Structures are given as C-alpha cells and as structure tokens.
Amino acid sequence: MVYKIINTIFAKNDVGLAAAEAHGIAAGMLCVDEQADSSRWLDELFRDAKPVVEEQKNLLIRLFEETRRLLDSQGFEFELFLPEEDTPLKEQVEALKLWCQGFLFGIITNPSVSETEWPDDVREIVKDITEFTKLDTQVSGEEDENAFVEITEYLRSVVVLFRDDIKDIKDGYVH
C-alpha cells in the first residue's frame, strides 16, 4: 500500500493526521488488544472529519488488517507505515515522530492491561518511544540516514516485543 495514497485520504477528509500517525494508532491498539476492531480505529480517526467514502474506507480497513497480520506473523514481518525511501529524510523523520505519537495514543485508547502491571521492559519501550516523539527533524547526510534506519529497525522489534509482553500478561504469564 502506498503511503501517499493513504495520506491523501486523510488530507481530503480533513482528518488532521498523517498516515504514519494513523498507522501508529492502529499498531498501538492492536498491541494492547489483538481483537481490536477496525471500525473503532476508523471512528477514532474520523471523529471530527468528513465522512470517508466506501472505497477509501476499504483501503483503510485493508491497512488495519494488514497491520494485524504483520504483528501476528511469526516471521518478524511487521513494518512501520512511513513515507517511501525517496522522500526527503526530514519528512521521513517527521512521519516517524508522528508514528510514535500515534502508537502511544493507540496503547491508551483501550488498555487491556493496566500500566501498573507492565513489566520493566514494556515501561522502557514506552519511554523510548516517547523520546522518539522529540526527534530533531533538522537532519541530513549519511549519519542521520543511518540513525533513522537504526531507530526504525529498533521500533519494529520493540513493538512486537511490547505486543508479546502485553499478550503474556493477559494470558496469565507473569514476568
């Protein structure tokens, strides 16, 4: 799914969110509740926006369900939904910050496990993601590009770890 297409849907419907932030919300919701419903996600996204047409709604539902599938996969397939690599680095970093904000919002929209029950590693993940919302977008050069790739890879892995830890708590496994 092309990032620009999803981003355009949000812009045309005055959602006030970027595609990355919306995906972060979806990922967060699915991490705390693997049964989360795409309609609840859409309701959250379009609460104060123009109604979305059926074709657009179907694309967004596909994005949500693909996110669920990737989080559930055993092959570490989960990807953050960010602008394509040929997008200027500054825009990619801004999208990453928004993705992190969305994820943090998504995990609090319907928490299935109280924060007081979170193990230390989950708290660290949330702390790290919170710090990534403060990234400097004045970036350029190979060093910044490498740092961006490292942060993205780190997020891919910790999101799956976060999800697994929350699932373990819900299933009664104590850390």
Q: Which residue has the tokens 């960010």?
A: 82
User: At residue 31, what are phi and psi to the nearest 5 degrees?
Assistant: -70, -35
Stretch 2-26: mean pLDDT = 93
Stretch 107-132: mean pLDDT = 89
Q: Where are the domains of the chain?
A: 3-170
pLDDT attached to residue 137? 92
pLDDT attached to residue 57? 94
Joined together, the tokens standing for residue 136 give: 């400097």
Return the sign of the alpha-carbon dihedral for residues 63, 66, 71, 72. positive
| Contact status, residue 82 vs residue 152, Cβ threshold 8 Å | yes
Joined together, the tokens standing for residue 95 give: 């999208």
Whether the pLDDT of residue 175 is over 80: the answer is no
- Domain at 3-170: CATH code: 1.20.120.740
**What CA–CA distance (Å, rounded) separates 173 from 144?**
39
**What CA–CA distance (Å, rounded) separates 53 from 41?**
16
Stretch 133-155: mean pLDDT = 94
pLDDT category at 174 given cuts 50, 70, 90 is: low
- Helix or strand or coil: residue 47? coil
Whether the pLDDT of residue 79 is over 80: the answer is yes
Stretch 59-66: mean pLDDT = 96
pLDDT above 90: percentage of residues in the chain? 76
| Contact status, residue 173 vs residue 119, Cβ threshold 8 Å | no
| Contact status, residue 92 vs residue 155, Cβ threshold 8 Å | no
